[in-house]
Amino acid sequence: MAFLQRLILKRKLVLYGNCRRNLCSSVSAVPTDGDSSSSLPHQLPPFDYQPKPYLGPSAEQVLEKRKRFLGPSLFYYYQKPLNIVEGKMQYLFDESGRRYLDAFAGIVTVSCGHCHPDIVNAITEQNNLLQHATTIYLHHAIADFAEALASKMPGNLKVVYFVNSGTEANELAMLMARLYSGNLGMIALRNAYHGGSSNTIGLTALNTWKYPIPQGEIHHVVNPDPYRGIFGSNAALYAQDVQDHIDFGSSGKVAGFIAETIQGVGGSVELAPGYLKHVYDIVRKAGGVCIADEVQTGFGRTGNHYWGFQTQGVIPDIVTMAKGIGNGLPLGAVVTTPEIANVMAQKIQFNTFGGNPVCSVGGLAVLRVIDKEKRQAHCANVGSHLIGRLRALQERHDIIGDVRGRGLMVGVELVTDRKEKTPAKAETAILFEKLRELGVLVGKGGLHGNVFRIKPPMCFTKDDADFLVDALDYAMSKL
């Protein structure tokens, strides 16, 4: 009886919370100081979806259990962490039923939208037939997915290896580069993030993610950052640093070079225009292969191209991908040329869950949704609108030092002094919390955590973009 009473009470509390929020969101707030720029943003754009009543454990209970049973390295956003219990397209819902605009997409992972029906249906149907068998047997799903993925690649990038994450993909790519070239030395960029395993941690170049362990023959060159870089947007001078590093810091031969086209964890930093074209030539002359990390920039997110590396006018030798490839499924891939792939035949190369039928069917559904719904063009259109509004906001708020990115992969860097570009660490933390209060969830990045990472599901609309910018405007007006 006591359990039944608690259940009824919980249902009443959920209904009360929903009614209260609906009432509050339907009323425009009145400015407290008479300044029109400080008025609260309008309510979230209309969305025809009602979340299910939540009857599970509270945020406090979940947090307590996490602290008891999960590793202490896990971190969470916000002073009072959110208990997210449901998602639909570009929105998330907490335990009380409150709706949030998800402008971070599960760390740039939800490409098509939370619980997209086409993807959910494909996964559910396959789950009911066969969940797992591994590649020691034949199954059409892995072959169908590989064929569809290869069709999206330029040049001779036609051989696919499936793994479970971006970290695994980058590990495999590094192994391929070393075996194919016969060299050990890898070159990566400062400010890069390529994974957190004992091998890929060497490729990563942000001290907040690195443990003091041996990291192998890996060297980091100057980051071609147009905003903070020592050479501005001069790609040739940044590329010369790569040549100097090969001449003075290696035997003259290297295994490979890896780079994100827009650095994600590093704060949405787009490489100087033309940089990769210079560097790819240098690295190949030194016997190395060129690896494009498309874990965050792939699948049309940049808008004007399907792959981030295409914005630099190059074709890599190896491409790694994850995150958006599965819309939340644990899925990653490495795509390379037949020549490079052949080196893996020297020994057994096998991944138990790589090409799992459920993940393969889901990945294929993602590709089809992106094509059917024209998400690449949508990212270009909405992203242009978003960046335009953010740059207009930059004219009004000195705290915005830089607005950058392409499509729906955007960064807003906050500074206390535009000339000195001093990171606005404390202010970023305050604004981050305020945006959550207003119903907007964004990411943070950069070495100093002073860059808002705006990388929503690719179904994000212009109305969503306007709400986000209005919320940011209001929060900054109150600093």
| Strand pairing report for 422-423 and 409-417 | antiparallel
CA separation (Å) from 172 to 203, 246, 323?
13, 23, 16
What are the tens digits of pLDDT across the range 24-36?
333 233 333 334 3
Q: What is the spatial distance between Cα 47 and Cα 90, in angstroms, rounded to a whole number?
A: 10
Residues 6+ away with beta carbon under 8 Å from 417: none
Which is nearest to 327 in space by CA: 454, 216, 458, 448? 458
pLDDT at 43: 87
CA separation (Å) from 167 to 46, 241, 268, 379?
38, 27, 19, 26
Residue 38: pLDDT band (50, 70, 90) is low
- Per the DSSP assignment, residues forming a β-bridge with 95 are none
Determine if residue 204 is left, alpha or beta; phi over 0 gives left, psi from -120 to 50 gives alpha, anything else beta. beta
pLDDT at 31: 33
pLDDT at 12: 38
Percentage of the chain with pLDDT > 70? 92
Q: What is the spatial distance between Cα 82 and Cα 72, in angstroms, rounded to a whole number?
A: 18
Average model confidence (pLDDT) for the chain? 92
Which is nearest to 122 in space by CA: 143, 141, 148? 141
How many CA atoms does the CB half-sphere of 385 hold within 13 Å?
15
Q: What is the spatial distance between Cα 479 and Cα 474, in angstroms, rounded to a whole number?
A: 9
How large is the average pLDDT for residues 165-188? 98
Residues 6+ away with beta carbon under 8 Å from 409: 108, 262, 264, 268, 296, 297, 301, 302, 383, 455
Residue type for 118, please? D
How large is the average pLDDT for residues 123-136? 96
- Per the DSSP assignment, residues forming a β-bridge with 444 are 452
Q: Are 224 and 260 in contact (CB under 8 A)?
A: no
Q: Are 320 and 170 in contact (CB under 8 A)?
A: yes
Q: Give the distance from CA 2 to its chain's centroid.
A: 45
What are the tens digits of pLDDT across the range 258-281?
999 999 999 999 999 999 999 999
Which is nearest to 105 in space by CA: 368, 319, 326? 326
Q: Give the distance from CA 327 to its chain's centroid.
A: 11
- Specify the DSSP element, H or E, that contains 293: strand 289-293
What are the tens digits of pLDDT across the range 53-93?
999 999 999 999 999 999 999 999 999 999 999 999 999 99
Q: Are 197 and 387 in contact (CB under 8 A)?
A: no
How large is the average pLDDT for residues 233-239? 98
Residue 40: pLDDT band (50, 70, 90) is confident
- Residue 322 phi/psi, 5° resolution? -170, -150
Percentage of the chain with pLDDT > 90? 89
What are the tens digits of pLDDT across the range 338-397?
999 999 999 998 899 999 999 999 999 999 999 999 999 999 999 999 999 999 999 999
How large is the average pLDDT for residues 15-22? 39
Q: Are 105 and 113 in contact (CB under 8 A)?
A: no
